[in-house]
Structure 1
């Protein structure tokens, strides 16, 4: 039983997340405390879930893309474009408080995000450009598009209906948490209760064999890129509505790298094939908790990314079974040389 638990794909991500939370609790004894103000829950744990919601969304979409053997470096740019489009639409409206204006702005952003995801998928499937190059194009150009939409300025809006997406509450919890839960539920049902998940893993494991078996590999790949674009678009809405503004230059910056790290920490291989959505969610929570920890202990801003990189590297190494076996073997050789010699001769 213990061996099976140790080998479970979620064991190390959950262990690392628990260790981070324990460190925070030791450093700040009131870290787990929750308070109710105005009928809503507040606390560090709620903040981690709330601020981590956009990254979790992007990571869910990235998981399916990586499972097909691809990668999407443009998600950060799509986040910026989505937020910029929504805020621009609202700012141009005659009635800033109109609910219909928000519906139109959200709809425009979602449609644009889906189109951008379709663009990435088309480059990969139709023109057969390598995914890293195909999405790198939109990663660079997309940031410019976001700045064109905002005219290089930060667009601010004042609409309570739009603010509710990222800053509102439902049942005493941030509304963004329910958006993430819905996305995770839909993705899980589609990939684990239908054949879609099997199709994705088959394409990621061996796309040519899948094609020869009658599976429409191009359709599967195109679909996951569209879904990834959709997730990034919704994440952009959450980010921009939370601060009631759109910054085409900084919104979603480095999200693509954090999302890839979350997927890898969650146990999904970059080579494609089998994927773990729940592992990805835990990976994203690890990254967000780590960010919160770094800010809490007062790490200087100029070395924040360095500290984050070293911790993530340590997490990935701990999770690597090959790395752990190497450490155990070297430890045994150092402490039990005679036993290793007998085993070698035997």
Structure 2
């Protein structure tokens, strides 16, 4: 819980800043059976990032990285919209898109675990090729669809709550159960801590690595469906652009080490909410569009520095107390003489 203290404080500070510039920021209203409000919008628009960040958390926990999730987001939306536009049916379109995304993630895991390619290189290949594949699927055009059932995924409501939020809750609950209630989380942390020692201990490290990359791609695929569904179209060039960087930032802000090992799913969710709330704050306080990315980078840098214990010790001139000298016993004096 102590690791989550600073991310929670940063998120609370951002929310308070929005409240200062936007009176009634915390108000939630029920209109026509749907919940509306700034907080609901943060959760709804942040849902794709939360999904991608959850998958990225497990990849980073194994000591890897996945730069291809943005391209997978584009592939998922492009393939689903193409299938729907050709009257293939919603279920078939979603199943085909998620199946391809999972297969591409497993391919990343195979390159890392079996071939031995560095994760940043293996996923960089798909980051570049995947964006081209999305362009091929859409033929370089924006595919527009008009399917109410497809619209539900990212832009619809169920039981007054945006459907995307319910998807995130379901995926988060399943992930927490698999990694914290079962031994899977411990195995992932073991592989991230020392993959070779895990293998010698009888853990199938390669299988776990392939699995987490496939899971990350599956989460990115669902996020791609939500993004394309929300705008009822697929843009192979811009969909999911740079979302992989926001996901990595969310994981780091949440307290998961890039070196691998222990991870925090709760911290990742808070980190993703910080990124999304920061975007909302930028628009609320009227930051000029040309300086938006710079402002965002400065704030994220400040957040990471605040979380650093070494940085806080330097700023506040904290020094660890030296251990008191051990008393010299009579026996030590006799030995030394």
Verify same fold: TM over 0.5.
Answer: yes
1:150 is aligned to: 138
Q: Equivalent residues in 2 for 1:44-55 (5 A)?
A: 44-55=38-49
Question: How far does residue 343 in structure 1 lie from its aligned partner after superposition?
Answer: 8.2
Looking at structure 1, the residues matched to 292 and 135 of structure 2 have their Cα atoms a distance apart, in angstroms, of: 26
Question: How far does residue 12 in structure 1 lie from its aligned partner after superposition?
Answer: 0.5
Question: How far does residue 327 in structure 1 lie from its aligned partner after superposition?
Answer: 1.2
Tell whether 2:298 aligns with 1:275.
Answer: no
Q: Equivalent residues in 2 for 1:19-98 (5 A)?
A: 19-93=13-87
Tell whether 2:105 aligns with 1:117.
Answer: yes
Question: How far does residue 126 in structure 1 lie from its aligned partner after superposition?
Answer: 1.2
SS at match of 1:126: helix
1:98 is aligned to: none
Q: Equivalent residues in 2 for 1:156-305 (5 A)?
A: 156-305=144-293
Tell whether 2:3 aligns with 1:13.
Answer: no
1:335 is aligned to: none
Looking at structure 2, the residues matched to 236 and 222 of structure 1 have their Cα atoms a distance apart, in angstroms, of: 21
Gaps of 5+ in 1: 95-100, 333-339
SS at match of 1:36: strand
1:288-333: per-residue Cα shift (whole Å, max 9, x none)?
0000110122212111110000000000000111111111217x8x
1:9-57: per-residue Cα shift (whole Å, max 9, x none)?
1100100000000111111111111121111010100000000000000
Tell whether 2:103 aligns with 1:103.
Answer: no
The Cα RMSD (Å) is: 1.7
Q: Is the 8 A contact 2:21 2:284 kept in 1?
A: no
SS at match of 1:41: strand
Taking structure 1 as reference, are residues 93 and 343 closer, same or farther at Cα in structure 2, changes over 3 Å only? closer
Name the larger-Rg structure. Answer: 2
Looking at structure 2, the residues matched to 242 and 41 of structure 1 have their Cα atoms a distance apart, in angstroms, of: 17
1:337 is aligned to: none
SS at match of 2:3: coil
Q: Is the 8 A contact 2:78 2:134 kept in 1?
A: yes
SS at match of 2:30: strand
